[in-house]
A and B are shown apart, each in its own frame.
Chain A
Amino acid sequence: MQKTGRSFLNNVTGWILPVLILIAWEAASRIGLISPNVLAAPSAVAEAFWRLLLSGELLQNIWISTLRALSGFAIGGAIGLVLGLANGLSSLSRNLTDTTLQMVRNIPHLALIPLVILWFGIDEEAKLFLVALGVFFPVYVNTLLGIQSVDPQLVEMGRVYGMSRSALFFRVILPGALPSIFVGLRYALGIMWLTLIVAETIAASSGLGYMAMQAREFLLLDVVVLSILIYALLGKLADSLARLLERQFLQWHPAFQPA
């Protein structure tokens, strides 16, 4: 009882500052301190939100962007996870691919945008490719690292107790690598939104980024600010989800145990 009260209080404390900023922002806009040509007032943004929500345009664009983000993430993340596991478990696989991957990793994936537009135009593939590529590396690197850092003493213990290869993997190696995999996952989520924002503002005909770019052309500053806020909100949502999963799967970890 006391505990929930305390955590409620903690949550509230975190919101005090943003609310104050919002109030100050609105006030500054009202008294003309911030020109509407520079930044739209919160009330204007709220109006834009309501307008676009009613027209259905907003949900449509959010849906498209989310779909892109998640499918790119699924593709890149899955490949990264599989390669990370393979290279962590088999030295043959590692010798074969790791050097190449580490070299490709040094190319900023956003530098490929011109090339990607040449290849795919501004179709869905372009965005999927970029997001998948961006997500791949953090997942791959951290999965590999996680497996390599599994305590060899525990692996030896598993062997002594006669665990089969699959038991060893599922009961010792994978859980041991999981904290690191989650680090990669959360990092990848950040990269996922970042990549998508850039790709959608440059090469898209739908989605949140496209909505923002259109609004810029018509000087609809309220819509631009709205898009930015929604991006932030989606990013936060994804991160919270990852944290929730992390807390669920890493219950055993001292860092996640209730004090």
Chain B
Amino acid sequence: MTVISFTQPAERARYQEGAGAQAVPDSKPKVPRETAPAARAATEPAAKTALSLRGVSRRFGEKEVLKGIDLDIPEGQFVAIIGKSGCGKSTLLRLIAGLDDPSSGKLTLGTDGHAHRTRIMFQEPRLLPWARVADNVAVGLTGLSKGAEARETALSLLAEVGLKDRADEWPAVLSGGQRQRVALARALAAKPYLLALDEPLGALDALTRIEMQALLERIWRQEGFTAVLVTHDVAEALALADRVIVIDKGAVSLDLAIALPRPRRHGSADVAALEGRILAALFDEQDA
């Protein structure tokens, strides 16, 4: 249970303005929807809901991995999901991406007609080794366009991620970061309405990661899709997200709006303060 306590109301107010953040006090056992309006308040009040989860649970056999998650994600929001290993982040993301169905509860994807435009980007690039880079990107256009048209789109997407000159190579000759960029281009090909990302940068080195974060942010701002990013990296979440959700033992334990101006600088004081709070929530410091 995470309640951020402030010694004085004044300090609390200063904190919020300074860091641009609002805490959503978590009440056991779960966060009631009505008491968690902070995140929405941080975005346009009239924004349509891209995704809404109501009491979503997922069990594997005896084990209940997700326990009644309630969540609303407005259109265009960048949400980061953080949690300890094995807490159910990937499970939640697979539900969101429609790869799996909840055991109970309801999951509604925004406006109709967009449902098929959900894309997921995995921790591994999952490129087809036997298809050239451009053809791999064109996989993202399956059912939308073909042949020369698809190739043209693929090339422009590759240019977008800075790999236009590698279009006719095999994935095997690319570096890890480049492969992940191809995977990003593929995920973006269909102009997704919702992009779910499962630790897409987890396997990359620190420098490539920062580069990729900047790329991801730029493309997200340009395309305006709704993004749900699962990550282990608190700094990454703070660099990218409008809102950070901490999952603990299958439930939302912290729902924090991040209203820092973009582009964000790594290592600024505001970021450090927020980082401390998220880490506190992750390690349940207030619980003792």
Contacts and interface: CB of A to CB of B under 8 A. Distances in A.
Interface of A: 153-154, 156-158, 160-163, 167, 171-172, 175-176, 178, 250-254, 257
Contacts of A160: 97, 99, 119-120
Interface string B134-155: 0000011011000000000000
Interface of B: 97, 99, 116, 119-120, 122, 124, 126, 128-131, 139-140, 142-143, 170-173, 186
B131 A171 contact: yes
A209 to B, nearest CB: 40
Given A160-B99, A257-B170, A257-B173, A175 B126 contact: no
A172 B126 CA distance: 11
A161 B190 CA distance: 9
Given A160-B99, A257-B172, A175 B142 contact: no
Contacts of A252: 129-131, 170-172
A172 B172 contact: no
Contacts of B186: 161
Contacts of B173: 257
A156 B99 contact: yes
Contacts of A257: 170, 172-173
Nearest to B119: A160
B120 A171 contact: no
B116 A162 contact: yes
Contacts of A156: 99, 126
Contact of A154 (B97, B119, B126, B142): B126
Contacts of A254: 172
Nearest to B124: A153
B38 to A, nearest CB: 32
A162 B173 CA distance: 27
A253 B126 CA distance: 15
B128 A167 contact: no
Contact of B126 (A157, A162, A163): A157
A157 B122 contact: yes
Contacts of B124: 153
A236 B5 CA distance: 80
Interface centre among B97, B126, B143, B171 (most CB of A within 10 A): B126
A175 B122 CA distance: 21
A154 B139 CA distance: 12
Contacts of B99: 156, 160
B139 A161 contact: yes
A240 to B, nearest CB: 23
A146 to B, nearest CB: 13
Contacts of B126: 153-154, 156-157
24 contacts: A153-B124, A153-B126, A154-B126, A156-B99, A156-B126, A157-B122, A157-B126, A161-B139, A161-B140, A161-B186, A162-B143, A163-B139, A163-B142, A171-B128, A171-B131, A175-B128, A176-B130, A178-B130, A251-B170, A252-B129, A252-B131, A254-B172, A257-B170, A257-B172
A172 B142 CA distance: 13
B143 A153 contact: no
A154 B204 CA distance: 20
A161 B129 contact: no
Between B99, B130, B172, the greatest number of chain A beta carbons within 10 A of the residue's beta carbon is seen for B130
Given A153-B126, A157-B126, A254-B172, 5 more contacts: A161-B119, A163-B139, A252-B131, A253-B130, A257-B173
